[in-house]
Amino acid sequence: MSLKGRVALVTGGAQGIGKAIVRHLAQAGAAVIALDRDDEAAHQTVSQIVSEGLTASAVCADVASSKSVAAAVAPLLKRYGAVDILVNNAGITRDGLLLRMKDADWDAVMSVNLNGTYHCIKVVLPSMVKRRWGRIVNISSIIGAVGNAGQANYAASKGAIVGLTKTLAREYANRCVTVNAVAPGFIETEMTAGLPSATKDALMTQIPMGRLGVPADIAYAVGFLASEEAGYVTGQVFHVNGGMHMAG
Ligand SMILES: NC(=O)c1ccc[n+]([C@@H]2O[C@H](COP(=O)([O-])OP(=O)(O)OC[C@H]3O[C@@H](n4cnc5c(N)ncnc54)[C@H](O)[C@@H]3O)[C@@H](O)[C@H]2O)c1
C-alpha cells in the first residue's frame, strides 16, 4: 500500500489515535498535516515523526469553529492544490447520565465530534471533487453503534457520523470520493486512561481478544480505507474492537 504523492489531513493528530494515524499515513508515503487545537502537542508530535524521516507538519485549529477550520485549511489548499485524504478524528467526551447532563456538555460534544466533522469535510471536499479522487475517513465509535449509559451525547454524535458517512458516500461516489467510518472499540489513549480499573476489568470480559486496542490498531484500518486499493469500498463502518461488537 503506497500513499506516495498524497496529501492527508488528520484532525486531532497531536496525540492518541490521531497521532498513530499521522505516523502510519506518513510511513505509507503521504505528506501528512496534523490539525489540532493543541498547537504545542501537535508540533511535538510532528517533530517526532519528521525525525523518523517522514513528511508531516502541524496546523492549529478548533474543528468546532468553521472559521477556524477554513483559516487553517486555506493555506494548505493553496500550497498543495487539494487534500486527498481527510481523517476526521478529533473528538471529546463529556460524560454524565442524561438527567444530570448540562446543555453545555451536550453542545460541546456535538460541536466537536459532529459539527467538526462537517466543517472539515465542507472545506476539503470541493478539492477532492475537482480532482475526482478523495478518501474521507470519519472516526465513529462502538458507542455510536451499541450505546453506553452515561454517554448519550457522545453516542448520539458518533451515531450521527455514520448517517453522515453513508449519505456522503452516496453523494460523491461518482466523483471517486469514498467516505467510510472506522468505529474503534476501547483503545488505550488519554480518553480511556481515566477509566476506573474495575470498569477496565469488566470491559475485558466482553472483549474476545482479551485486551484493549492500541492506537496503531485503528491507524491500520484507516490506512487501508485511505489507499488506492480501497477504491471500491464506500459507505462502510469498519469496526475495530477485538470482537467486542460484531456488526451484522
Ligand atoms: N480511545 C478510545 O477508546 C476511543 C474509542 C472509540 C472512538 N474513539 C474516537 O477516536 C478519536 C480519537 O480519540 P483518542 O482516544 O485518541 O482521544 P484523545 O483525547 O487522546 O485525543 C484527541 C485529540 O483531539 C484533539 N481535539 C479535541 N478537540 C479538538 C478540537 N475542537 N479541534 C481540534 N482538535 C481537537 C485533542 O487536542 C487531542 O489531540 C475520537 O474521535 C474518539 O471519540 C476513541
Write out pLDDT tens, residues 16-72.
999 999 999 999 999 999 999 999 999 999 999 999 999 999 999 999 999 999 999
Q: Which of 154, 172, 220, 232 is catalytic?
A: 154
Tell me the percentage of the chain whose pLDDT exceeds 70.
Answer: 100
Tell me the percentage of the chain whose pLDDT exceeds 90.
Answer: 96
Q: What angle do CA 158, 155, 202 make, to 5 degrees?
A: 120
Q: Whose CA is nearest to atom 19 of ligand 1?
A: 191
Instruction: Respond yes or no: is residue 232 known to be catalytic.
Output: no
Q: At what angle do helices 215-226 and 16-27 cross, to 10 degrees?
A: 50
Q: Compute the distance from residue 13 Cα to the ligand 1 centre, in Å.
A: 8
Q: Compute the distance from residue 12 Cα to the ligand 1 centre, in Å.
A: 6
Average pLDDT, the chain: 97
DSSP labels, 49-80: HHHTT--EEEEE--TT-HHHHHHHHHHHHHHH
Q: Compute the distance from residue 41 Cα to the ligand 1 centre, in Å.
A: 13
Is the model's pLDDT at 155 over the cut of 90?
yes
CATH 3.40.50.720 is held by the domain 7-238? yes
Q: Is 217's C-beta closer than 6 angstroms to any atom of ligand 1?
A: no
Q: What is the mean pLDDT of residues 176-188?
A: 98
Is the model's pLDDT at 247 over the cut of 90?
no
Q: Is 42's C-beta closer than 6 angstroms to any atom of ligand 1?
A: no
pLDDT of residue 192: 92
The band of 248, judged by pLDDT with boundaries at 50, 70 and 90, is: confident
pLDDT of residue 67: 98
Helix (H) or strand (E) holding 119: helix 116-131
pLDDT of residue 1: 84
pLDDT of residue 111: 99
Q: Compute the distance from residue 174 Cα to the ligand 1 centre, in Å.
A: 31
DSSP labels, 1-40: ---TT-EEEEETTTSHHHHHHHHHHHHTT-EEEEEES-HH
Q: Is 90's C-beta closer than 6 angstroms to any atom of ligand 1?
A: yes
**Which residue among 44, 109, 114, 191 has the greatest number of ligand 1 atoms within 8 angstroms of its CB, and so is best to mutate?**
191
Rounded CA gap, 25 and 165, in Å? 21
pLDDT of residue 171: 98
Domain residue ranges in the chain: 7-238
pLDDT of residue 32: 98
Taking only the tens place, the pLDDT of each residue in 111-144 is 999 999 999 999 999 999 999 999 999 999 999 9
Q: Whose CA is nearest to atom 23 of ligand 1?
A: 12
